[in-house]
Amino acid sequence: MTEVYSEKFGGNFTQQEPLPEAALEAAMAVLRHGRLHRYNLTPGEAGEVALLEQEFAAFVGAKFCLATSSGGSAIGLALRAVGVKPGDRVLTNAFTLAPVPGAIAALGAEPVFVEVTEDLVIDLDDLAAKAGEAGVLLLSHMRGHICDMERLMQICDAANVTVVEDCAHTMGARWNGVPSGRHGAVACYSTQTYKHMNSGEGGLLVSDDEDIAAKAVLLSGSYMLYERHLAAPSPEVFARHRMETPNISGRMDNLRAAILRPQLAELPRQIERWNARYRVVEEELRGTPGLTVVERPEAEHFVGSSIQFLLKGWSAEAVQGVIARCLRRGVELKWFGGADPVGFTSRYQHWRYAKTAPLARSDAILAGLMDMRLPLTFSLEDCGQIARIIRAEVGAVYQAG
């Protein structure tokens, strides 16, 4: 197979933009006064974590918000707060990342995987068929793809299934104008470095249910200092749960909250920048022989911080050939069809603590699923070059096959 490298990309797919100056100034203020713990406050001081919670609740239109130590910890707190116990079965996507089934397994509960569609969202027909098997759905908006949320809620409401949304990849996204995370009983977001706001690690949990919110705060380790929260239920609600809810600790600190608040203010602008890059890659890839672009529905206002495409029906050898050829030209593609997990890429068969029967439809899709980050360090011109390289190498392998 002839290889002609007319272009080679020199960018870094894991490098993030520097934090904004306002975040650096806020961080230095916290470091200078030394009050990193969220409850270590002076008289009259709100604290960075409480202010972040208040601002994020307003951003998504939620009544209550809790900042946590990670997105995974937010999911774990949410599952406990809605009543998941050891031995329970919990519905979740077959296409997701390890922290989602991991949060279920960490509670001693059992994941029940639901098939994925070619649009990379949860299969609602399969969900309807399995809805009677569990009382909770942990819905992962994996890689930022949002399903028909009205139909999903109809299915879950009819089966009395509580919905917990994993919005790690959809912070700032909307479905039919409704912010992602506002359909279910509780939603969880991540502020890990590779998500839409960067605090290294961190998470946020939102809900309109006062009992869920109060239990989540207590679980996170409030030490009965819940009156220092600005986006939490009233003391009367905490009184119902305070002596029966264990402290498992999972709080965010003031340093991380301080660097997140300026990023939250900038998030709408950042989303526009991500989506501009996404559209450049998407348009260049559309029409490539052998490659299927994942079309986004009109109702979905997404955040294009990564892009996915399908090599449907390709052999593993051919897919690996595309990956290798693109890498030699500086383009890093991830693959969900590999025999073993690699980095942040894994699939349901890899999680041996979460045993399940094979899911034939999901297997066929994941076998050809390619994934690529689109960091904001890339220019629009970079994105055009990356897409041209992918198009050329996919075409070369496709024609040779």
CATH code, domain with 73:
3.40.640.10
Average pLDDT, integer, range 56-71: 98
CB atoms within 10 A of CB 247: 12
Would residue 115 count as lying in a domain? yes
* Residues 216 and 283 grouped into a single domain: no
* Residues 275 and 155 grouped into a single domain: no
* Residues 273 and 189 grouped into a single domain: no
Average pLDDT, integer, range 41-49: 97
What are the φ/ψ torsions at residue 305 (nearest 5 degrees)? -80, -10
> Which distant-in-sequence residues (6+ apart) come within 8 Å of 58 by Cβ?
none
Percent of the chain at pLDDT exceeding 70: 99
- Read off the tokens for 204: 């946020």
| Distance set, CA 7 to CA 282, 328, 358 (Å) | 19, 11, 41
**H helices of 179-248, where?**
210-221, 235-241
- For residue 186, give its domain range: 21-261
Q: Of 212, 243, 261, which one is at a domain's C-terminal end? A: 261
pLDDT for residue 2 is more than 60:
no
* Residues 281 and 248 grouped into a single domain: no
Would residue 60 count as lying in a domain? yes
Contact 351, 251 (CB under 8 A): no
CB atoms within 10 A of CB 341: 15
Domain count, the chain: 2
**Span between the terminal Cα atoms of the chain, in Å:** 10
pLDDT of residue 354: 85
* Residues 203 and 111 grouped into a single domain: yes
Q: Convert the pLDDT of each residue in 227-240 to its tens digit.
A: 999 999 999 999 99
* Residues 232 and 366 grouped into a single domain: no
Q: 106-109: which pairs have CB atoms within 8 A and are 24 or more residues apart? A: 106/76, 107/76, 107/79, 107/80, 109/79, 109/84, 109/85
* Residues 342 and 236 grouped into a single domain: no
* Residues 385 and 237 grouped into a single domain: no
> Which distant-in-sequence residues (6+ apart) come within 8 Å of 229 by Cβ?
50, 53, 66, 217, 222
Would residue 5 count as lying in a domain? no
Q: Which of 35-39, 145-149, 334-338 has the lowest mean pLDDT?
A: 334-338
Percent of the chain at pLDDT exceeding 90: 92
* Residues 273 and 227 grouped into a single domain: no
pLDDT of residue 179: 98
Q: How confident is the model at residue 5 (pLDDT cuts 50, 70, 90)?
A: low
Q: Which of 255-269, 285-299, 348-362, 367-381 has the lowest mean pLDDT?
A: 348-362
pLDDT of residue 356: 85
pLDDT of residue 46: 97
